[in-house]
Structure 1
Amino acid sequence: MGQCDLMPGWRHWLRGGVAAAALLITLNPPAFAQGTASAPGSADEVREVPAVLQSDEVEYQDDREVVIARGNVEIAQGERILLADRVSYDLRTDVITATGNVSLLQPSGEVLFGDEVRVTGDLREGAIDAFRMLLTDNSRLAAANAVRVDDNRTDMNRAVYSPCEICQDDPDSAPLWQVRASRVIHDQEEQTLYYRHARLELFDVPLFYTPYFSHPDPTAERQTGLLAPTMGYSSSLGAMVQPRYYVVLSDQADFTFSPILTSDAGQVAEGTYRRRTRAGRFVVTGSITQATNLDSADDTTANLRFDDPTVEEGDLRGHIDTTGQFDIDQNWRWGWDARWVSDDAYLERYGYEFDDPLQSELYAERFEGRNYFVAEAMTFQGLRRQGDDAQQPIILPNAEYHYISDPNFMGGQLFGELGTLNLMRTEGRDTRRVSGTLGWERNFVERLGGRVSLKGLANVDAYNYNDTVDGQDVIDQGDESGQAARVFPQVAVEYAYPLTRSSWLGTEVLRPRTQLVLGPNGGNSSRIPNETSRNFEFTAGNLFALDRIPGRDRVSSGQRVDYGLEYVYTTPEGGGTASALIGQSYRINSDSALPDSVGGDEEFSDIVGRVSLSPVRYASASYDFRIDDSTGDMSLSEYSITLGSPTLRVGVDYTYVEEQQSELSSFSEREQLTLRINSRVSRYWSVGARHRQNLRDKEPLDTEIGIGYQDECFLFRFSASRDYANSDEADDDTTFMVTIGLKNLGAFGGGQ
């Protein structure tokens, strides 16, 4: 219906109303009988949707069969909306001519602008002078003129494209970068912008020219084509470039080919295949190359900076990295995570991220309420040349079932675990284990307000082993076989009494805690193979743990008393917090199988603690420590401090761990310091630096500096890094990288 200015009088109002009705009837004769619940598709469907005209004034010229609307004109045809100062609609030719601040909103969200627009009555086709387009991501297109065809294709002459914002202080100035072309075609169906005779301009200065160029429009999620390459230089690879080509294979699959071309280390073919199925997804990444320009490997005990001495010139090298996960039903799923490499030095040489050893697994798991089951097979590949891959384990299978009852089982909660492990080696000890745990736990508050926790459990483990040495806990190849079994019960009672105080300064909670743990002495016989309990560190985090030792093969045996003091402070608004814990254990009996840090051969353990501070939004610190109870020396000291807002943020990380040689953990003394600084200098500029130092050997480990610029359409980053070899036989690895990103055109890098 028409909205008309009533000031000219009733004759004008009547004429406007009749004209508006005529426009509706002419555009859509059966429209009043049609529903508008879904968006129209074809031209015939669009014509079935009512058109609505609103304006300040409407005039109908009978002799010419022309409807003229003036002042704040709006024509809505389905999801298409035309706005203008003046609109003339010729009923005989079905052409609408709009002038003055013309804009046309498309169903896709794009907006077309022009000085004069001539479109068909359904607003799907037309021609525009002084054309401008605002895309869905606020990118802009401008052209001398444009033609809209089939409600899908916009053909522009002498066009300019840029996603950069217009400078408000100087709107006539050129954007930071833009693409000029003699012709630009926007195909909405293909979601692509095509350019003919295009040139890229930076700060209005031409950089390069290409006769043909295309890129996806903002609505495209996946499209076959070249991706931006990366380029750089490092002392290990020399000059390097990695082009990328992306291929859409189907709605469920795609492939990226990304070879690595180097000047000093040969060429590497690399690709990644991704696929989704109804049940899940999987990814396969692989690479292959021919060995060339190998490094000297006179020192076979040096780090991975050298090539593997077993690799000869011309040998094939490569790697595979694949993951997958699939649902079987609402409870079951299965998957894999597999990694393999041809030699020890390949991943390091070509800059791939990796863990040592590489772990591969095939698994199936079930989730049901609080209960969980997993069965898995695992293999490992070591990447240290001084290591022996023959002693890497093969696990087939490892199966575990974990059960937790409802919370009110006999006033508490019942929990249990069943497991089996079959671990084999091509050289060295083989181990088979069957294990089970049954336990019960209850927590309650006694009448005086103290919190009481009761816990009891029994572990049962049976072992069979062979190819070891005299039944000792060593992996080395031998001819001894045997069996071992253990039943290990434990009970514990913990009591904590919180003392709370609140004031205008905030809330404080002081909580003394003590725990009595009772269990049999021993239980850690050397005839029980230790495969899963070789990474132990005593900290405040496991002070009150019933069994502090990870894995099942070693246990926290004997009787002990754990005691500590906790403090928590919270500001009135809750934005600032501080917490601290300090504690120790007293062993009623000694156990030489346990480290001295937990009181293995002594009555008292080391003193452990942790302090955490977050007083304000942009300040945080944490400190973990362990103090030798007999000497008062620090055996563990770790702290991390971060201060400042994004404008200027500094950080310090420090780690000191004394040497420890035991069955449960074996490592040399280490002391490292890491310094970090980052600053967002302005809205768009940022800088940062990081340095890591080995304080024990007084040698640097690695250093990195970087500077970056990022706005709504342009990205620039420069970084320089050095990885120090700290070896007379190897050189430091130095890398310089420059990355440049252009919105919607991808990113590319350059090195020097």
Structure 2
Amino acid sequence: MRGDRRGIRWGLLCVLAIFASLLRVAWAQEPVSREIPALLQADDVVYDKELQTVTARGEVEVAHGERILLADSLTYNLDTDVITAQGDVSLLEPSGEVIFADYVEVTGDLREGAIRSFRMLLTDRSRLAAANAVRVDGRLTQMRKVVFSPCEPCREDPERAPLWQIKAERVTHDQQEKMLKYRNARMELFGVPVIYTPYFEHPDPTVKRKSGFLSPSFGFSDELGTRFQIPYYWAISPQRDLTVEPIYTTKQGVVMTGQYRARTTGGQYSLAGSATVADKTTGRETKTDVFRGHLDVEGEFNIDRIWRWGFDARRTSDDTYLRVYDFEFDRFLRSEAYLEGFRGSNYFSARTFSYQGQSRRDEDRELPIVLPEIRYSYVGKPGTAGGRFFAEAGALGLTRIDGRDSRRLSSSVGWTLPYTDNLGGITELTTVVHGDVYAANGVDETTDAVNPPDASAAGEDFQGRLFPQAALSYRYPMARQGFLGREVLEPRVQLVVGPNGGNPGEIPNEDSRDFEFDDTNLFRLNRFPGRDRISSGQRIDYGATYSIFGEGYSYASAFLGQSYRINSDDAVPDSAGEDGDFSDIVGRVDVRPLRYLDLSYRFRLDEDNFSAQRSEIGMRAGPPSLQTRIDYTFLKDETDSDSASFGQREEIYAEVRSRFARYWSAYASQRRDLTTNQTLRTRLGLVYHDECFLVDLRAQRDEFRDRDVEPDDQIFVTITFKHLGQFVAEQ
């Protein structure tokens, strides 16, 4: 009977293979291997030598690897090489898909076959059904009277039509071309036909990319009028593609946009942009037929495991173009090229970059052009006593079309030693020496303006600085188990010493302008960002952190700190302490008393009257059924001698979201400037989202104003059909 068992096994493997090949009509699957043995369970197995058939009857179950085939009966004819399975046939795939059929007949070579009452359940609960399916010539699978829907049947009435489905008279799957072709197809909503097409085709799910049109969108705006977009995607090769997306508008003509992408053996690059000839408003004047557009080129390439290089060039024809045509917008467009390397804790980079402003206040001729910026950072391994050396080195060349220029060579060499005593206290000693050499012209030491009006400031000057610093800090964490939870208290004190001064006006301030004194830099040796300014003099920093961790989700943490400055210079803002004076008080509080309630508060208080100089308050409350978010920000007007100045800012943002039903949710938000008592943006939204359908309705009001960018009311409607893409309407 060994030959008989071999015939049985061959027939079972053929049945599994034809099911797997038909399953690939809807989803890519692994092929069936004939090297893996198949296990058969049935009430009765009969081998008829005269008819040359093998028949299994009664709760037939065939297991082949992770695939399982169930049927009432299964027959393999050795003479005709035909396999037949019938009666509640089902095949469970390893990935989770399940195929159902009433009758299956297939040749042993899998080139010809037929399935009657073909049905399939995908892993995402989508359903596909056909009256029958026929396999022809080993590559074509033809299905008749096909129905597809990702919508789950109604629980109360499973026979009711789903929310949407697609019906087609015929569907042909060409496995050689990897295409699905539909004849006489229609889309139904709640069983009512809404769209009909005699023919359409799309790639099968095994294809990750294929040339063709993508989902279109249309909308309305005061500036552009009616707009319509329909992208075309061109798969040039497995490593390259091109997307062309013209924007048709009734008021400003056609805007041609596109993106080219490519992968190489060592990296990738892309080229995106847009161009149009349209009207442009500048103040009270409107210019007609003006060229407008933008360019965005980026790439990154690996040289080896340590080194890589790249570039990112972003430019636009004018500073309102991106906002008018709803492209990605940043306050400044940065173009750069770079080389960088990573090895352990060490890092090297060489960059060159420039900026383009996107506001009427920006003077592009005064924005810096960096040629180049070189940085190197070294962190040594701990020595025998636990000490560690560190070093930094750099070079900077900065120029402007109008304004001052500067060149800088810089380095820092330091050593740090941490020590933990028997009581758990941690002492840390840090020493560092900073060295900088500057060559600058156009610098006026009486002002920090990048383009000073005084012609006498146009001369070139050389400046040097050698600045040693040392710090000794001590912190002692203490913990105990209290009745509210585990409590941790960690006081910390630090003494910082260094020479007075060190920030002469002849040194241009380029990278240390945005000084901000808060809880994050209280214990830093140099609180300034960048290297052009340094925290000189002597000071004592002190503060304490208290945390409590309760059961479940509850916790609370608070930090409070201050600094006493023994002496300083004019470059250090008053908030960090004047000579012989205390700094502002900085701190933060984070509290989560309940699972759905988070509170935060960051602050800086005046040391004399405790008035708020900076406040950031945040709240997150509520479960998904009703969530509330409130953010409040207050920044007092600060104008210091050598740091950036800005007017007082006070803003509040509020948002409410509610998932008030299984598939329904709504949200509302508003951002308001409390200084000018003006609303900046208001948004309202209503969303329906189930397993196969999404409708997102949004209304938005923007109050931003900048020449041809005016306050705008917009309505967005997004409709998404699962597996079919999305339809977008805007007003």
**1:541 pairs with 506, 510, 520, which one?**
520
Q: Which moved more, 1:140-149 or 1:182-191?
A: 182-191
- Which residue matches 1:264? 251
SS of residue in 2 equivalent to 1:155? strand
Letter in 1 for 2:615: S
1:624 aligns with 2:602: yes
Native 8 Å contact 2:142 2:170 kept in 1? yes
Letter in 2 for 1:724: E
1:736 aligns with 2:715: yes
- How does 1:132-147 map onto structure 2 within 5 Å? 132-135=119-122, 137-147=124-134
For residue 500 of structure 1, report the CA deviation from its aligned partner.
1.8
Native 8 Å contact 2:565 2:579 kept in 1? no
Letter in 2 for 1:226: F
1:186/1:743 CA distance change after superposition, 3 Å: farther
Letter in 1 for 2:728: G
For residue 689 of structure 1, report the CA deviation from its aligned partner.
1.4
**CA displacement, residues 555-611 of structure 1 (integer Å, 9 cap, x when unaligned):** 1111111111211111245x3321111111111114222211111356111111111
Letter in 1 for 2:258: G
Letter in 2 for 1:169: E
TM-score, normalised by the number of residues in structure 2: 0.91
Measured in 1, the distance between the counterparts of 2:662 and 2:220 equals 30
Native 8 Å contact 1:215 1:745 kept in 2? no
Q: Which moved more, 1:179-188 or 1:343-352?
A: 179-188
Measured in 1, the distance between the counterparts of 2:605 and 2:10 equals 90
For residue 319 of structure 1, report the CA deviation from its aligned partner.
0.8
1:569 aligns with 2:548: yes
SS of residue in 2 equivalent to 1:291? strand
- Which residue matches 1:32? none
SS of residue in 2 equivalent to 1:667? coil
1:241 aligns with 2:228: yes
Measured in 2, the distance between the counterparts of 1:599 and 1:583 equals 13
**1:612 pairs with 590, 602, 605, which one?**
590
SS of residue in 2 equivalent to 1:533? coil
Measured in 1, the distance between the counterparts of 2:572 and 2:635 equals 18
Measured in 1, the distance between the counterparts of 2:66 and 2:175 equals 16
For residue 717 of structure 1, report the CA deviation from its aligned partner.
0.8
Letter in 1 for 2:451: D
1:27/1:589 CA distance change after superposition, 3 Å: closer
Native 8 Å contact 2:536 2:568 kept in 1? no
Measured in 1, the distance between the counterparts of 2:345 and 2:50 equals 81
Letter in 1 for 2:135: R
- Which residue matches 1:36? none
Measured in 2, the distance between the counterparts of 1:258 and 1:558 equals 59
For residue 679 of structure 1, report the CA deviation from its aligned partner.
1.7
- Which residue matches 2:650? 671
Measured in 1, the distance between the counterparts of 2:690 and 2:124 equals 14
**CA displacement, residues 223-282 of structure 1 (integer Å, 9 cap, x when unaligned):** 222221222223333322221222212211222222222233332111112222111112
Letter in 2 for 1:514: V
Measured in 1, the distance between the counterparts of 2:67 and 2:486 equals 59
Native 8 Å contact 2:566 2:580 kept in 1? no
Letter in 2 for 1:488: F
- Which residue matches 2:346? 371
Letter in 1 for 2:493: T
For residue 691 of structure 1, report the CA deviation from its aligned partner.
0.4
- Which residue matches 1:306? none
- How does 1:88-127 map onto structure 2 within 5 Å? 88-104=75-91, 111-122=98-109, 125-127=112-114
Q: Which moved more, 1:739-748 or 1:168-177?
A: 168-177
Letter in 2 for 1:524: N
Measured in 1, the distance between the counterparts of 2:94 and 2:479 equals 61
SS of residue in 2 equivalent to 1:347? helix
Letter in 1 for 2:720: G
- Which residue matches 1:690? 669
For residue 180 of structure 1, report the CA deviation from its aligned partner.
0.9
1:412/1:106 CA distance change after superposition, 3 Å: closer
For residue 161 of structure 1, report the CA deviation from its aligned partner.
1.4
- Which residue matches 1:336? 311
Q: Which moved more, 1:592-601 or 1:617-626?
A: 592-601
Give the aligned length. 711
For residue 59 of structure 1, report the CA deviation from its aligned partner.
2.6
In structure 1, stretches of 5+ residues that fail to align are: 2-16, 30-40, 299-308
**2:700 pairs with 699, 721, 727, which one?**
721
1:280 aligns with 2:255: no
Q: Which moved more, 1:448-457 or 1:146-155?
A: 146-155
In structure 2, stretches of 5+ residues that fail to align are: 15-27
1:388 aligns with 2:388: no
Measured in 2, the distance between the counterparts of 1:379 and 1:571 equals 50
Measured in 2, the distance between the counterparts of 1:104 and 1:190 equals 26
For residue 438 of structure 1, report the CA deviation from its aligned partner.
0.6
- Which residue matches 1:38? none
Measured in 1, the distance between the counterparts of 2:464 and 2:298 equals 37
Measured in 1, the distance between the counterparts of 2:116 and 2:249 equals 50
- Which residue matches 2:682? 703
SS of residue in 1 equivalent to 2:567? coil
Identity %: 49
- Which residue matches 2:638? 660
Measured in 2, the distance between the counterparts of 1:105 and 1:91 equals 26
Measured in 2, the distance between the counterparts of 1:722 and 1:27 equals 65
Measured in 1, the distance between the counterparts of 2:583 and 2:62 equals 82
SS of residue in 2 equivalent to 1:688? strand
Letter in 2 for 1:340: R
**1:582 pairs with 560, 564, 572, which one?**
560
Measured in 2, the distance between the counterparts of 1:22 and 1:464 equals 89
Q: Which moved more, 1:402-411 or 1:485-494?
A: 402-411
1:218/1:708 CA distance change after superposition, 3 Å: farther
SS of residue in 2 equivalent to 1:660? coil
- Which residue matches 2:17? none
- Which residue matches 2:436? 461
Native 8 Å contact 1:216 1:744 kept in 2? no
- How does 1:400-419 map onto structure 2 within 5 Å? 400-408=375-383, 411-419=386-394
1:233/1:62 CA distance change after superposition, 3 Å: same
